[in-house]
Amino acid sequence: MKASAFLIIPLLIFMLIVDLYTYRGLKPLINKFQNLLIRKVLKIFYWSISIIMFAAFVLFFLRIEYVQKAETYVYVGYLTAGFALFYVPKFVLVFFVLLRDVQKAVSWLIGLFTMMEKENKLESKSKRKMERSEFLYQMGLMLAAIPFASILYGVTKGKFNFRIMQESLHFPNLPKAFRGLRIVQISDMHLGSFNKNYEKIEKAIELINEQKPDIILFTGDLVNNFAEETEGWAPVLSKMNAKMGKYSILGNHDYGDYSHWPSAKAKADNLKKIKDFHQNIGFKLLLNETERLKIDEDEIALIGVENWGKPPFPQHGDLDLAMNGNEDLAFKLLMSHDPSHWDAKVLDTDVDLTFAGHTHGMQFGIERAGIKWSPVQYKYPRWGGLYNVGKQFLYVNRGFGYIGFPGRIGMPPEITLIELS
């Protein structure tokens, strides 16, 4: 048996314990049905889902030792979605079942010390305790329904609910001819995760074109790992239109580092095909270099660096090399996939506005009523939206696609529009 097979055992034991304890909490609800057939169907349905999840995890650990094919990411996505959909609500319910059991245990212990009290007092207290116990049970059921509904929406509708995030930024040093420049930024497509869902993405492309961008910037992670993920996407993605051009950079996933390759040449060929695809869809890929954008007699710099991230992420980016020769330009835009690059390197330069992605907003969070929170902020303090230090600005796009968990909860896929003045 492969070593990876042993990794599944603790997980399966944990899942079984959760299933048994959840069933213990659901059993009173099932038993309320008078019809025995309905009870039987509900029990079979409950345990069938658990058996399917068990089988899926076993298959994954036994048959897929390395990430070698693009389809693997889709399989992992389904597995993650299934686990989240059926086990996160169980965790909530189990918590309240545990509270109910603790309450019963405490009541039993108290009862040992109150045996000498009058019977009517004991009956009265017992009734109140049963009411509290029933309340905990009902509360658990209601609260468990919230994550179930949220996850179900996230994996069906939420991941394609594209939103426009718009900002207007003023820079005193921006050349006059560029005032009013409309920049659309997209990031982190992860094409393999879309599983050839062309129609949904075509609608997003239409939304991009409706913004009438002067330039479109794509800030990396075209794929999850493999060039084969781009197959069939050229006719869709080439429909993006921008008056002055479309530009892109590479992200950490584009280098093929998340797989075992038969040879260095195979990995290099994979990267070359990914680079060629950028050209096939009309994007100019900037690899540690500057593009001089010109309107009339005015020019600004558009700098593109390869991925630069804190370990374990690769540091192929060379900002000094990319900026070489643009000293005469008064205004500079930068594309850098990982926002941690901004604090580590970019703030020491005269770059005015940086575009990044990478975080996805963890595909989960809250951005309503003045609240801005995502678990990813504990790793990336600058994880989504606009930031500034002095006169320098950073915009972190929350991502166009998804990876791992095939959905988005409270963190819709983003198309950014920034207008300069």
82-125 pLDDT per residue, tens: 999 999 999 999 888 888 777 777 777 776 666 545 444 444 45
Q: What is the mean pLDDT of the chain?
A: 90
48-86 pLDDT per residue, tens: 999 999 998 888 877 665 555 778 888 889 999 999 999
Mean pLDDT of 177-197: 97
17-39 pLDDT per residue, tens: 999 989 988 888 888 888 899 99
**Could you give the percent of the chain with pLDDT greater than 70?**
91
125-142 pLDDT per residue, tens: 545 554 555 676 678 888
Which of 172, 127, 217 lies closest to 400 in space, CA to CA?
A: 217
In the chain the domains, ranked by start, together with CATH numbers, are 3-156 (no CATH), 160-420 (3.60.21.10)
Mean pLDDT of 147-166: 96
256-313 pLDDT per residue, tens: 999 889 999 999 999 999 999 999 999 999 999 999 999 999 999 999 999 999 888 8
